[in-house]
Amino acid sequence: MSRLDPGLIGTLYRAACLAELDALKPGNVHAFAPGHRMVVADFVTSAEVSAPPLARPGARVGERIRDGVAATMAAVGQNTNLGILLLCAPLATAAERGEGVVAVLDTLDRLDAVGVFAAIRLANPGGLGRAERHDVAAAAPASLRDAMAEAADRDRIARAYGTGFADVTAIGLPALTEARVRGLDPSWCTTAVHLAYLRSVPDSHIARKRGHTVAEGLRREVESTLAGLDLATQPVERLLVLDASLKARGLNPGTSADFTVTTLFWDALRAAGAALT
């Protein structure tokens, strides 16, 4: 497997973050509309300051996540990218080492758990709650994979650590490929990826804050509201109506956005020569 230069990995990560912001993603912050007391500039800055720690040569997964979150909090003062870093750090590590993602996930240990738990405490994401085992307020466990497995039934990002990023390969990458085959512009390809996640699985950021019933209700709403939607027509107004509705209700499908960035990053790393699988 090819080993990618860390500088290139950082460049591709920034590009994936910025490309996601250019796309109209209902309910999230994007170039068409702000939301949830955040603006695009917050995310642009977050991408810039988190790229160096994410791509730091030889860094452990936990270090990349912790230092990326720390840099982000120092720069923008709020959690804009914890989920992105949790998902992208194993990909960056795999690309640098010339390994598959599963091989990287299999090496995660207590030091990685210490880094990730510190990152989560720094970011203090909404709706985190408490857990009987492996609570982030407690000492980090011996295995980060065990901690992620404990949260897998309520968090798609944690679940990704146990499935080898199955959502990316089963939902995101096929949607991206299909959109390109249809000849969609790059930003609309990104919208297609985001909508694929929204339609396929309940968003776990919404589930944590508002409950699984609300998250599943949103998934069904998106599926029915956007039935027959042709992204080739660039339906800005129709998507902005849904976008405004979600934001008025305080519904932010942040996990879907995190997986969208990750899909773009995975695709770019693969195009550059990283195998990842």
Provide the b/e sequence for 23-58 (b: ≥16 CB within 10 Å): bbbbbbbbebbebeebebebbbebbbbbbbbbbbee
Residues 6 or more apart from 36 whose CB is under 8 A from it? 29, 247, 250, 252
pTM for the complete prediction? 0.95
**Structure confidence by residue, pLDDT tens digits, 208-257:** 999 999 999 999 999 999 999 999 999 999 999 999 999 999 999 999 99
Average pLDDT over residues 1-24: 96
Domain ranges of the chain: 6-150+261-272, 171-254
Residue in the structure block whose two tokens are 């042709």: 230
Average pLDDT over residues 107-122: 94
Whole-number pLDDT of residue 131: 45
How far apart are the C-alpha atoms of 160 and 149, rounded to whole Å?
9
Average pLDDT over residues 12-35: 95
Whole-number pLDDT of residue 170: 98
